[in-house]
């Protein structure tokens, strides 16, 4: 069964790349400090093999990305910090133009960019036409290249000019990262080895309803932690204190529990939780049974008994998909459950896939990225893909038989 039906960079003869202007749309949106200096480089490392391949083939690479959500070209959203880290990673200097439109950029690409070099252009979201999916802006970007390579899996769910329109204006191909993402996620959707365990966390049930509905028939069991667990605990009649629960979510939680029961799917909920007086570092904390959360306390993490229940499922599983942290992991005192779960999954024999977003941040903080079978670079895009939705950035690429 073919899991990737789009034109791939490997379909383009390597000997034809020399001298070609290859426009690479990447997702270089790694975490950064308030001045724009990167504090992580997972996405840069993920796209590096494609860039190295193109440079070795002596292509002229025009590299483009978004970075954060700027409102007015704020300096901390510039790609200057990305350029510095990427140059260090690839061990050669990368050209940079502080523009994402205009004559200066066009003239550099056409007259100064040499074979085997990379030009990084400024944050695409500094140009309003990008997020508006403006066809005129897409045509300008297309004028810079001979070939387009899509590597921005993390933005492929966006209807933006460089994602949804640009690929239709040039001979277009998926890069190595995009193909890897689609194949890895397609495998667990279409042909997972069983037992198949889904681990869900994060704050809101509403963010995961489509994912649960699409996956519940495919998985054998579901472990639920994080803030969303309290909605299911409350649906079971437990008092959850001040723990976050969305308004009007009780009926949806009950429907999911009922549907799982009807289908013979096992849902494992927390049996103990860490609670805190306030959701701040240094707050008073204690472990309590899940059905005994004090009225004026907040649930902030799973407890050790819950972890043991989750580990029982992890040890049985042959395939594991994890999406969402187990608690308020940004606060060190509330991150134990997420960190311990990451270690348990990493040490298992299962094919382990992380759905990106906050979950990948947990793995990065615990140095567990390399111990998972696949860690997606796209949070929202991975979620949409696993929900069964089509992604505009992939749909825009030509199909192959």
**Lookup: tokens for 288:** 């309590």
Upper half-sphere CA count for residue 163 (Cβ side, 13 Å): 26
- d(CA 196, CA 208) in angstroms, rounded, equals 18
- Which tokens in the block code for residue 358? 């906050």
For residue 203, CA distances in Å to 91, 208, 237, 271 come to: 40, 10, 19, 18
Contact residues for 220 (Cβ-Cβ < 8 A; gap 6+): 194, 195, 196, 197, 265, 266, 317
Nearest alpha-carbon partner for 357 in 393, 336, 384: 384
SS3 string, 189-251, reads: HHCCCCCEEEEECCCCCCCCHHHHHHHCCCCCEEEECCCCHHHHHHHCCCCCCCCCCCCCCHH
Q: Could you check whether the bond before residue 195 is cis, i.e. omega within 30 degrees of 0?
A: yes
Give the alpha-carbon dihedral of 353, 357, 363, 368, to 10 degrees: 40
As a whole number of angstroms, the distance between CA 305 and CA 289 comes to: 9
Helix (H, G, I), strand (E, B) or coil at 384: helix
Phi-psi region of 274 (alpha: psi -120 to 50; beta: other; left: phi over 0): beta
Residues that are catalytic: 43, 204, 357, 380
- The annotation places the binding site for (2R)-3-phosphoglycerate at 43, 125, 158
């Amino acid at each position: 069964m073919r899991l990737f039906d789009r034109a791939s960079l490997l379909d383009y003869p390597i000997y034809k790349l020399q001298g070609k202007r290859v426009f690479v749309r990447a997702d270089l949106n790694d975490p950064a400090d308030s001045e724009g200096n990167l504090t992580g480089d997972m996405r840069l490392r993920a796209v590096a093999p494609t860039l190295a391949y193109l440079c070795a083939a002596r292509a002229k690479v025009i590299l483009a990305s978004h970075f954060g959500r700027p409102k007015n070209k704020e300096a901390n959203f510039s790609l200057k910090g990305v350029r510095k880290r990427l140059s260090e990673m690839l061990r050669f200097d990368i050209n940079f133009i502080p523009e994402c439109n205009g004559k200066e950029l066009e003239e550099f690409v056409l007259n100064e960019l040499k074979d085997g070099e990379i030009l990084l252009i400024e944050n695409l979201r500094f140009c309003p036409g990008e997020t508006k999916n403006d066809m005129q802006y897409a045509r300008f970007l297309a004028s810079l290249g001979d070939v387009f390579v899509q590597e921005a899996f993390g933005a492929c769910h966006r209807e933006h000019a460089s994602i949804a329109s640009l690929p239709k204006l040039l001979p277009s191909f998926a890069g190595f990262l995009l193909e890897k993402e689609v194949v890895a996620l397609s495998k667990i959707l279409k042909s997972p080895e069983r037992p198949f365990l889904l681990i869900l966390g994060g704050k809101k049930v509403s963010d995961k309803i489509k994912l649960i509905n699409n996956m519940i028939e495919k998985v054998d069991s579901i472990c639920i932690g994080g803030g969303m667990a309290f909605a299911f605990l409350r649906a079971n009649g437990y008092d959850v204190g001040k723990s976050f629960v969305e308004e009007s979510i009780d009926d949806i939680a009950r429907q999911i529990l009922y549907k799982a029961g009807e289908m013979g799917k096992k849902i494992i909920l927390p049996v103990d939780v860490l609670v805190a007086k306030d959701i701040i570092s240094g707050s008073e904390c204690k472990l309590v049974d899940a059905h005994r959360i004090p009225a004026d306390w907040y649930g902030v993490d799973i407890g050790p008994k819950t972890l043991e229940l989750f580990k029982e499922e992890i040890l049985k599983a042959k395939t594991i998909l994890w999406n969402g942290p187990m608690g308020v992991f940004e606060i060190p005192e509330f991150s134990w459950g997420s960190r311990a779960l990451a270690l348990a999954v990493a040490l298992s024999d299962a094919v382990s896939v992380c759905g990106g977003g906050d979950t990948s941040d947990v793995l990065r903080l615990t140095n567990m990225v390399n111990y998972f079978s696949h860690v997606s670079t796209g949070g929202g895009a991975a979620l949409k893909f696993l929900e069964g939705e089509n992604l505009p950035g992939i749909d825009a690429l030509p199909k192959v038989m």
